[in-house]
């Protein structure tokens, strides 16, 4: 057999600009330190600290017991799509029917499918920055380009004015994440209305990411698709990962009208052929059974937030309390203006793992991200370690 030409052993060009998450690299570094016996306070993660509630696990067990183990319809089981549509109407005020709902493998698949459905090569996507890093790679995978809109500038100068400054003649969409990872910003109703008015004015599609919709401490969560005229031009990605402590189950849903629904359905069909059937029955229980899990979690996160923010401010790491999500994003420029260096110093001196802010875009430089989804004892421990060692 002849040897393959060397240039056949290369990835498809489409993947040239698609990166691997820096957060994974940090996790590897933490594992390496731990394997050498070091204690590391892990504040770099991004998942609920609690296990999935028992009633949800019981629903999955019961689905298995009843042999709900065959292919489900690739858009999702009808009972779940109907329950999601009811939730969207009641809680998000989004006027969706079950035909507008697609069950997907977590927020990531919903977002992947949304960008695949909307973005062509050379299209630009406006994104408020600092932003959740994987979006860069989801857009790159479509051959599109991110155009960063500094969130602080938009909040100070006005959203319309700021978006008008950054829009290009190739802009096709806005990615709108509220509550925001990593900054914890919850966009107000007035701000969301301004973004919607801009999208309507300039004929842009909105890809909304509401992964943290249930983790809001101040203000209200407003779904942009609920605003007048926005349903038809918005694809919203929701996930059960954060709300119900279900990160490992891989389940979420995307909500849209046509033609987006057809794009989302094709993308899901040919990537995963739908979501595991017992997981969908568990999700149905999560959304329909009476439970105070979300309220209790929110109160627990608030307690952790206040503890960490109070301690960080005392240490001179200035940090306004985040209005949503479970991350603190303090200014660490008095450790180092270079956030990668600041994060290294925090790890080496105080044994605390964080994510350098620059990973979330240049607007995140000078900050690091701490997750406060952990026990109060762990937060006390890390603050004590920082007080002693920094």
Ligand X SMILES: Cc1ncc(COP(=O)(O)O)c(C=O)c1O
Smallest distance from ligand X to CB 237, Å: 7
324 binds ligand X (CB under 6 A): no
CB 321 within 8 A of CB 183: no
Give, as ranges, the residues between 165 and 184 that touch ligand X (CB under 6 A): 177, 181
113 binds ligand X (CB under 6 A): no
Smallest distance from ligand X to CB 346, Å: 21
How many whole angstroms separate alpha carbon 179 and alpha carbon 214?
A: 9
Residue count at the site for ligand X (CB under 6 A)? Answer: 13
46 binds ligand X (CB under 6 A): yes
How many whole angstroms separate alpha carbon 158 and alpha carbon 148?
A: 15
SS3 assignment, position 106 = helix
Tell me the H-state helices in the chain: 22-35, 54-65, 78-87, 106-118, 134-140, 151-157, 159-166, 189-202, 260-269, 277-288, 293-314, 339-350, 376-389
Of 209 and 214, which has the nearer Cβ to ligand X? 209
Smallest distance from ligand X to CB 250, Å: 7
Smallest distance from ligand X to CB 8, Å: 33
239 binds ligand X (CB under 6 A): yes
Give, as ranges, the residues between 251 and 280 that touch ligand X (CB under 6 A): 252
CB 126 within 8 A of CB 166: yes
293 binds ligand X (CB under 6 A): no
339-350 and 376-389 helices, crossing angle to 10°: 100
Of 117 and 351, which has the nearer Cβ to ligand X? 117
Of 41 and 112, which has the nearer Cβ to ligand X? 112
Q: State the Cα angle at 384 between 42 and 337, rounded to 5°.
A: 70
Of 263 and 324, which has the nearer Cβ to ligand X? 324
SS3 assignment, position 156 = helix
- Interface with ligand X (CB under 6 A): 46, 106-108, 132, 177, 181, 209, 211, 239, 241, 247, 252
């Amino acid at each position: 057999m002849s040897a393959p030409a060397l240039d056949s052993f290369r990835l498809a060009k489409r993947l040239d600009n698609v990166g691997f998450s820096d957060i994974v690299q940090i996790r590897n570094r933490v594992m390496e330190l731990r394997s050498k016996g070091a204690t590391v306070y892990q504040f770099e993660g991004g998942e609920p600290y609690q296990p999935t509630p028992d009633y949800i696990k019981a629903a999955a067990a019961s689905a298995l017991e009843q042999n709900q183990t065959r292919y489900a319809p690739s858009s999702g089981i009808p009972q779940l799509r109907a329950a999601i549509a009811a939730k969207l109407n009641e809680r998000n005020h989004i006027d969706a029917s079950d035909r507008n709902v697609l069950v997907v493998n977590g927020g990531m698949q919903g977002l992947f499918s949304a960008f695949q459905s909307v973005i062509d090569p050379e299209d630009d996507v406006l994104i408020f920055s600092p932003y959740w890093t994987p979006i860069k790679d989801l857009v790159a995978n479509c051959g599109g380009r991110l155009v960063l809109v500094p969130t602080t500038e938009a909040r100070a100068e006005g959203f319309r004015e700021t978006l008008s400054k950054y829009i290009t003649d190739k802009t096709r969409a806005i990615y709108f994440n509220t509550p925001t990872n990593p900054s914890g910003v919850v966009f107000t109703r007035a701000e969301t209305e301004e973004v919607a008015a801009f999208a309507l004015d300039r004929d842009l599609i909105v890809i909304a990411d509401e992964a943290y919709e249930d983790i809001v401490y101040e203000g209200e969560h407003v779904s942009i698709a609920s605003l007048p005229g926005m349903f038809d031009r918005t694809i919203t990605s929701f996930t059960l990962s954060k709300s119900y402590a279900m990160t490992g189950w891989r389940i979420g849903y995307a909500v849209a009208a046509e033609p987006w629904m057809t794009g989302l359905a094709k993308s899901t069909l040919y990537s995963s052929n739908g979501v595991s059937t017992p997981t969908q029955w568990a999700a149905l229980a999560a959304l329909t059974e009476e439970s105070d899990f979300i309220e209790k979690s929110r109160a627990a996160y608030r307690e952790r937030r206040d503890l960490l923010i109070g301690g960080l401010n005392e240490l001179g790491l200035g940090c306004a309390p985040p209005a949503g999500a479970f991350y603190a994003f303090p200014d660490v420029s008095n450790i180092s203006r270079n956030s990668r260096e600041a994060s290294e110093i925090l790890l080496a001196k105080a044994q605390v793992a964080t994510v350098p802010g620059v990973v979330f875009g240049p607007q995140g430089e000078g900050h690091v991200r701490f997750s406060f989804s952990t026990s109060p004892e762990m937060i006390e421990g890390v603050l004590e370690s920082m007080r002693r060692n920094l």
